[in-house]
Amino acid sequence: MPRQIGTILMRLHFVANYQHYTAVALLTLLPMSNSFVWPWLSFLWEVSSLISTKLVLTVTRKG
């Protein structure tokens, strides 16, 4: 069981890193003056990080 938890946590960590690098790439590619895209992207980022945090918490509780 601990080995399964370890692999799940590693996968979640990889997903979080992937999200981070995707966000960085998007932010560097987008023009800085676009005032509509920035709040929308930050909102999406907050939601995705909340979801990944909840996933980690539920996985650790089940273990």
Which two three-digit tokens encode residue 19? 């999200």
pLDDT digits (tens, 9 = 90+) for 24-61: 777 776 665 566 667 777 788 788 888 878 877 777 77
Domain of 48, in residue numbers: 2-62
Q: What is the C-alpha to C-alpha distance for residues 49 and 39, in angstroms, rounded to an integer?
A: 15
> H helices within the chain, ranges in order?
2-29, 37-62
- DSSP for residue 35: T
Sign (positive or negative) of CA dihedral 12, 15, 39, 24 = positive
Q: What is the mean pLDDT of residues 6-25?
A: 72
pTM above 0.85, yes or no: no
- How many structural domains compose the chain? 1
